[in-house]
Amino acid sequence: MELNEFKAFVKTIPGIREEVTKGRYTWQQIYEFYVLYGENDKMWDAYRYASRNQSLDLEGIMNVVKNVDLDALSKSFDGIQKVLDLVGGLMIKDEKPASKQWYDN
């Protein structure tokens, strides 16, 4: 197997690069695994699925963001703000002013 094939393979699975930067494997070890077992071995599946799941999660987040009803979100925030203002007003009313002492004059 040629080194350029290995480099192209590594680019398709970003998780492998992370393993090397974390110090779990060296590039030499990864290359030896690649030469011995090939790119279709089950050992690479965990890295393939991890990179797919990350992209799916990003797609899912983007779909949620696209489908957010900004008017409803704004109304929710307005409602929360009203509740906070009400609670804050009640707390201020419950506080009793300190009685004046002879030295406050």
pLDDT of residue 2: 81
Sign for the pseudo-dihedral over CA of 89, 92, 96, 97: negative
pLDDT digit string (tens) for 74-87? 888 788 888 888 88
The whole-model pTM stands at 0.46
Q: Does residue 92 or residue 88 have the better pLDDT? A: 88
pLDDT of residue 38: 87
Residue among 34, 36, 47, 40 nearest 5 (CA): 34
Residue among 45, 56, 59, 60 nearest 15 (CA): 45
Domain boundaries, the chain: 3-69
